[in-house]
Structure 1
Amino acid sequence: MGEAYQIKDQEMPYFLTFQVVGWADAFTRKIYRDFILENLTYSRKEKGLYLYGFVIMSNHIHLVAQQKDGKLSDWVRDFKKFTSKKLLKLILENPQEMPLRKILHLRYYNLGHSMWQMKIKL
């Protein structure tokens, strides 16, 4: 990860962008948005995430967040890993998602098993 995309001060709030690989429109359906909202709620209650604001767009998520224990990088890693696996599973199991399934399946395996591309700003 380039230096511009590293969380240097774990105690500070950061502007984070989680982009779906290939700009695939994964969040046009309510089921996938709801999954992200459930994960953010869980992260606030159980993982000590301070969530100052967020927006879920059709193919990316912006949020301003800070981690209570100064472990924002750990939270980002866990969020990306868990949501990547679960979202891909939900999409691949949904027969209505054939175009999205093809895009994500190809990019997911070509980009090291991650559904997310990420940008970080202080």
Structure 2
Amino acid sequence: MGDSYQIKDQEGLYFLTCQVVGWVDVFSREIYRSIIIDSLGFCQKHKELKIYAYVIMTNHLHIIAQSGIGKLSDTLRDFKRYTSNSIMNEISENVQESRKSWMEMVFQYYAKFNTRVQQRQFWTHENHAVELTSNDMIDSRVNYIHNNPVRAGWVERPEDYLYSSARNYCELPGQLEVDLI
């Protein structure tokens, strides 16, 4: 991987994309989205992660975030490690998960190609980090994030999607508190 999408300024403001390996639609189930929301909330409270915008799609999430302590890479690594383990454990233990065998097979397959992973891989290694250095870049990425569910055809208006900060920006209750830009 080139270094064009790496987090270089640990205190900078970044647009980040976390993608599930094989584009597996894990987040089509509420239980897995809740793990993401709870973990992001933990990172806000205990790791000084500032979240300005987010959306959880079926197989990836976008976040605009910044570290209040200059450790964005470390926080993102810890978030991905915790959510990976929690979600894969939930999949393994959930007797009602009809896709369990198939998902576990996909996660095992991707682990074969990653020397950093032993048995299963949930997230891709990349975070597609783009530093946001101007107001135009920030506005563009916030709009991109909030309109993702609209482009997918799930909702008519961004604020109608429950797992997006578009609700916060419209002064509606959201799943996660964000710092408005």
Pairwise same-fold verdict (TM > 0.5): yes
Q: CA deviation at 1:106?
A: 2.4
- The farther-off stretch of 20-29 and 76-85 is 76-85
Alignment deviations for residues 57-109 of structure 1 (CA, whole Å, 9 cap, x no partner) = 00001000000011101111111111111111111222322322322232234
Which residue number in structure 1 is paired with residue 106 of structure 2? Answer: 103
Question: Does structure 2 conserve the Cα–Cα contact (< 8 Å) formed by 1:21 and 1:116?
Answer: yes
Which structure is higher in strand share?
1
Aligned residues: 122
Letter in 2 for 1:98: S
- TM-score w.r.t. structure 2 length? 0.63
Alignment deviations for residues 4-35 of structure 1 (CA, whole Å, 9 cap, x no partner) = 12111111110000000011111010000000
Unaligned runs of 5+ in 2: 132-181
Partner Cα distance (2:8, 2:44) in 1: 21
Which residue number in structure 2 is paired with residue 68 of structure 1? Answer: 68
Partner Cα distance (2:111, 2:32) in 1: 17
Identity %: 43
Query: What does 1:1-122 correspond to in 2, within 5 Å?
Result: 1-95=1-95, 96=97, 97-111=100-114, 112-113=116-117, 114-117=121-124, 118=126, 119-122=128-131
Partner Cα distance (1:4, 1:94) in 2: 39
Structure having the higher Rg = 2
Unaligned runs of 5+ in 1: none
Partner Cα distance (2:26, 2:113) in 1: 18
Partner Cα distance (1:87, 1:108) in 2: 16
Partner Cα distance (1:108, 1:61) in 2: 21
- TM-score w.r.t. structure 1 length? 0.91
CA-based RMSD: 1.5
- The farther-off stretch of 56-65 and 80-89 is 80-89
Partner Cα distance (2:16, 2:70) in 1: 16
Letter in 2 for 1:6: Q
Question: Does structure 2 conserve the Cα–Cα contact (< 8 Å) formed by 1:49 and 1:66?
Answer: yes
Question: Does structure 2 conserve the Cα–Cα contact (< 8 Å) formed by 1:24 and 1:104?
Answer: no
Which structure is higher in helix share?
1
